[in-house]
Amino acid sequence: VNNSKNFEIRKNDRNYQVGDLLLLEEYNPTTANYTGREIHCLITYKTTFKQVPGYVVLGTKKLGTV
């Protein structure tokens, strides 16, 4: 079973577009530090449907870990 999430809900402060690459960094709120684990994702879909103004839902495809 693949437990990876295939979407992100984000503030659209970077004008995200289909075809953009995301570098997602894992954050541990308990230690208030990044863990060093990262993943590259491709944006495959974008919608504002039922979102707070200024936010988007991004469909993503995992490309690999860094």
Q: Is residue 61 part of a domain?
A: yes
Q: Are strands 21-28 and 33-47 parallel, antiparallel or unpaired?
A: antiparallel
pLDDT score recorded for residue 1: 47
Report the C-alpha gap between 42 and 29 in whole angstroms: 25
Q: Is residue 19 left, alpha or beta, with left meaning phi > 0 and alpha meaning psi from -120 to 50?
A: left
Higher per-residue pLDDT: 45 or 3: 45
Q: What's the structural domain count of the chain?
A: 1
Q: What residue numbers bound the domain in which 13 lies?
A: 7-65
State pLDDT tens for residues 26-63.
Answer: 999 999 999 999 999 999 999 999 999 999 999 999 99
Backbone angles phi, psi at 61, to 5 degrees: -125, 125
pTM: 0.82
pLDDT score recorded for residue 35: 97
DSSP category for residue 17: -
Length of the chain (residues): 66
Q: Which domain CATH number covers 37?
A: 2.30.130.30
